[in-house]
Amino acid sequence: MIAITRDVSDAIVRCELTHLARQPIDLVRARAQHRAYEARLASLGCEVRRLADAPDLADAVFVEDTAVVVAEVAVLARPGAASRRPELASMAEALTPLRPVVRVEAPGTLEGGDVLRVGRTLFVGRSGRTNDAGFAQLRAAVAPYGYDARQVPVTGCLHLKSAITWVGERRLVVNCAWIDAGAFEGFDLVDVDPAEPFAANALLVRGTAIHGAQFPRTRARLEARGVRVEPVDLSELAKAEGGVTCCSVIVDA
């Protein structure tokens, strides 16, 4: 497995914010936490490939939003936040040796944080960042390989994966306040603890769910359901509206 990442930008203090008020971000601490996250990915068997630093691109650490990669193809996204589009070129360069690359074109917008893959189904958030045209282009790009794509309205949070993520087998961790859980009928849904609304973002790597250390109550719920959880502290990046999935693009090598 390859984990594509990028260091925290000097400009992160100017990051996009949609649902959070701006708070000071400690850049030194953010970078240390991000290094520890990369180390955790490496310890789970990922080869970490860092993209070139992008000191002027405030949200460039959140590489997930720039691409959706499945076994057969990589779809280069087109972020709904225009400030994030200059992040695409370096991601395209990194993916080109790994997969055929298809691009989302205007008027489509798509951010990888809105795309939750479970097996051969892609659930795609209809959010402030991903529109109907972006969804249609993603669906067309993966349909030839047997993937089904379904739209899920998102309200009250940034991306679909702020509200729901896969934690193995048929199990998802979810904040039902931000999506209609009816779209996930047939799955075992683990609700976040009400005191931890941002705890529905987990990154499953080789059977282990990387999960924010600031969410111990939801972690206990996951562990009670048999999910193996490794907590990581990305609390500085959480102030920039980022979670554990946001900081990598995982590519099966």
Region of residue 169 (phi > 0: left; psi between -120 and 50: alpha; otherwise: beta): left
- Pick between residue 15 and residue 70 the one whose CB is nearest to ligand GLY: 15
73/76 Cα distance (integer angstroms)? 10
User: Would you state the structure tokens that stand for residue 223, as one six-digit string?
Assistant: 């562990």
Nearest to 40, CA basis, from 164, 213, 192: 213
Per the CB < 8 A criterion, the answer to whether 65 and 84 are in contact is yes
Q: Does 236 bind ligand GLY (CB under 6 A)?
A: no
- What does the per-residue mask of binding to ligand GLY show for 130-159, with x meaning CB under 6 A? ----------------------------x-
Smallest distance from ligand GLY to CB 55, Å: 16
Residue 182's beta-bridge partner residues? none
- The structure tokens 């290094």 sit at 35
Whether 211 is a known active-site residue: answer no
Smallest distance from ligand GLY to CB 17, Å: 6
Sequence-distant (6+) residues with CB within 8 A of 45 are: 1, 205, 206
Q: Does 167 bind ligand GLY (CB under 6 A)?
A: no
- Pick between residue 16 and residue 230 the one whose CB is nearest to ligand GLY: 16
74-76 β-sheet, strand order: 67-69, 74-76, 101-103
Q: Which of 34, 157, 159, 247 is catalytic?
A: 159
- What does the per-residue mask of binding to ligand GLY show for 81-110, with x meaning CB under 6 A? x--x--------------------------
Q: Does 10 bind ligand GLY (CB under 6 A)?
A: no
- Active site members: 159, 246
- Give the interface with ligand GLY as residue ranges (CB under 6 A): 15-16, 18, 59, 62, 81, 84, 158, 240-242
